[in-house]
């Protein structure tokens, strides 16, 4: 949730953010009104409590010398004041609930410089490498995966339904090697490796901002009231919920390796072939807790790590600055890296890195102590360092005319081969 002080001090900045996202700026004014009512209710309740305390003190003195009739009157007056205070406190609780509800509806304030618009209004920041060309008709990753014995979609669908698959043989080794390489790079950069839970409580899922407009993308176990994560960002964000963390030595960095689950409820008919858009995949996610003033620099640092990893697996890619309407509620700024997919003749997303500023930590009550010892809300930043869909770009960009695929040099120690040969 956003900082109410920012809302009060600069409401126009929040309205501008809402317009950049394509969301309702009137929500800002509704929250401002609710906040005023809440503060008035708090003042009324404080005044009523002060008055009641003063009366109780005075009543204690008067009761010692009062007649029976006067004592009865004093007790009745005390009862009326107590009931009146309860009513005022109920108004305060209702006002605070209204503020919290509206605050939870309001997306994070978009960072200055992010493009406005929707999914197609991104800005390309750079290209790395040239789109791969061939002097033969390239195969897509499905045909390559099947002929090389790497991917079995038919049996995945038989076992679990559409958008499921098996990674088999060298396909499993290719993914494990890619994730292992990412884990090594993360550890070398000072990240603590984590294998987090893939099931989380509702307050953790909500705290990260994933139970808003896209809640239908999440798998829920109703009987247990738990959610399957779509990214280990969720569990890592909850790791320090309701805690005061030590940032005196700089940011705290984690890298979470987990399976992830998405319903893909809004993608009917999109990317039904292959493993670009699936219900289950593996991912190594970087997650950083830092001071708010360090968040933008940490965001750029995660992007540089993603770029380094993409170069290591030898695929051409581009970096885009995601438009406000495509950020998701938690992110103030997001950079995506998109790899060239030869058979589709376009770039497809492989990683995202998001600066969530204090939005998630405020919801999850994650704080730190500043130089003066006062508690402040931390900032969170996240980014993907490797995930299953990378196999699409690796296979397609490194294929040869005979149907084989050259294994990127950085992955050869993990796969045990320089070239993957057709098995059928």
Alpha carbon 99 to chain centroid distance? 23
**What is the pLDDT confidence band of residue 266, given thresholds at 50, 70 and 90?**
low
Radius of gyration of the chain (CA): 27
Tell whether the model's pLDDT for residue 420 goes beyond 70. yes
pLDDT value at residue 353: 97
Domain with residue 80: its CATH number is 1.10.287.40
Active site residue 8: no
pLDDT tens-digit readout, 192-217? 999 999 999 999 999 998 887 678 88
Q: What are phi and psi of 370, to 5 degrees?
A: -80, -175
Q: Specify the number of domains making up the chain.
A: 2
Are 86 and 229 part of one and the same domain?
A: no
Instruction: Indicate whether 118 belongs to any domain.
Output: no
Residue where one domain finishes, among candidates 105, 137, 167:
105
For residue 87, the model assigns a pLDDT of 87
Whether 273 is catalytic: no
Determine the structural domain holding residue 21 and report its residue range: 4-105
Q: Give catalytic status of residue 349 as yes or no.
A: yes
Considering the domain architecture, whether residues 87 and 164 belong to the same structural domain is answered as no
Query: What is the spatial distance between Cα 420 and Cα 401, in angstroms, rounded to a whole number?
Result: 13
Shared-domain flag, residues 54 and 181:
no
- In a shared domain, residues 135 and 60: no
pTM: 0.90
Residue bearing tokens 């996240």: 382
State whether 235 and 364 are in the same domain.
Answer: yes
What is the CATH number for 161?
3.30.930.10
For residues 169 and 253, state if they share a domain: yes
Please state, in angstroms and rounded to a whole number, the distance separating the CA atoms of residues 143 and 248.
52
Measured distance CA(388)–CA(283) in Å, rounded: 7
Mean pLDDT of 249-275: 88
Q: Per-residue pLDDT tens for 176-195?
A: 999 999 999 999 999 999 99
**Active-site residue (options: 348, 349, 404, 412):** 349
| Pairing verdict, β 333-341 and 317-321 | antiparallel
Active-site residue, from 147, 258, 389, 396: 389
Task: Map residue 132 onto helix, strand or coil.
Answer: coil
Separation between Cα atoms, residue 110 and residue 15, nearest integer Å: 10
157 is in an annotated binding site: no
Rounded to a whole number, what is the largest CA-CA distance in the chain?
A: 108
- How many residues belong to the chain? 424
CA atoms within 13 A on the CB side of 153: 17
| Residue from 352, 354, 362, 363 carrying the catalytic annotation | 352
């Amino acid at each position: 949730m956003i900082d109410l002080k920012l809302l009060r001090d600069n409401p126009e900045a929040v309205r501008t953010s809402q317009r950049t996202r394509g969301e309702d700026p009137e929500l800002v004014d509704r929250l401002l009104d609710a906040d005023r009512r809440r503060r008035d209710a708090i003042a009324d309740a404080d005044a009523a409590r002060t008055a009641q305390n003063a009366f109780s003190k005075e009543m204690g003195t008067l009761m010692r010398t009062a007649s029976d009739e006067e004592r009865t009157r004093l007790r009745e007056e005390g009862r009326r004041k107590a009931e009146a205070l309860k009513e005022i406190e109920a108004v305060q609780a209702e006002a605070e609930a209204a503020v919290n509800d509206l605050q939870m509806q309001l997306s994070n304030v978009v960072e200055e410089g992010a493009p406005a618009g929707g999914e197609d209004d991104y800005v390309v920041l750079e290209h790395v490498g040239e789109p791969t060309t061939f002097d033969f008709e390239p195969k897509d990753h499905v045909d390559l995966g099947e002929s090389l014995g790497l991917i079995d979609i038919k049996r995945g669908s038989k076992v679990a339904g559409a958008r499921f698959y098996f990674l088999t043989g060298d396909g499993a080794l290719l993914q494990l090697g890619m994730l292992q390489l990412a884990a090594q790079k993360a550890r070398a950069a000072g990240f603590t490796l984590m294998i987090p839970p893939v099931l989380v409580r509702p307050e953790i899922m909500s705290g990260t901002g994933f139970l808003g407009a896209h809640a239908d993308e999440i798998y829920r176990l109703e009987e247990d009231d738990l959610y399957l994560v779509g990214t280990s960002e969720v569990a890592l964000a909850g790791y320090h919920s309701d805690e005061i963390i030590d940032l005196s030595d700089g940011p705290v960095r984690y890298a979470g390796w987990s399976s992830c689950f998405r319903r893909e409820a809004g993608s009917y008919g999109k990317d039904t072939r292959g493993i670009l858009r699936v219900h289950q995949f593996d991912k190594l996610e970087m997650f950083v807790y830092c001071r708010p003033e360090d968040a933008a620099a940490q965001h750029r640092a995660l992007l540089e790590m993603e770029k380094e990893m993409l170069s290591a697996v030898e695929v051409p890619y581009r970096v885009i600055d995601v438009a406000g309407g495509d950020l998701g509620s938690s992110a103030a700024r997001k950079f995506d890296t998109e790899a060239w997919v030869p058979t589709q003749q376009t770039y497809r997303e492989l990683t995202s890195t998001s600066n969530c500023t204090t939005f998630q930590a405020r919801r999850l009550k994650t704080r730190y102590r500043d130089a003066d010892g006062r508690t402040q809300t931390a900032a969170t930043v996240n980014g993907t360092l490797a995930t299953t869909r990378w196999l699409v770009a690796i296979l397609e960009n490194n294929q040869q005319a005979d149907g084989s695929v050259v294994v990127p040099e950085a992955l050869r120690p993990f796969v045990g081969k320089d070239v993957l040969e057709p098995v059928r």
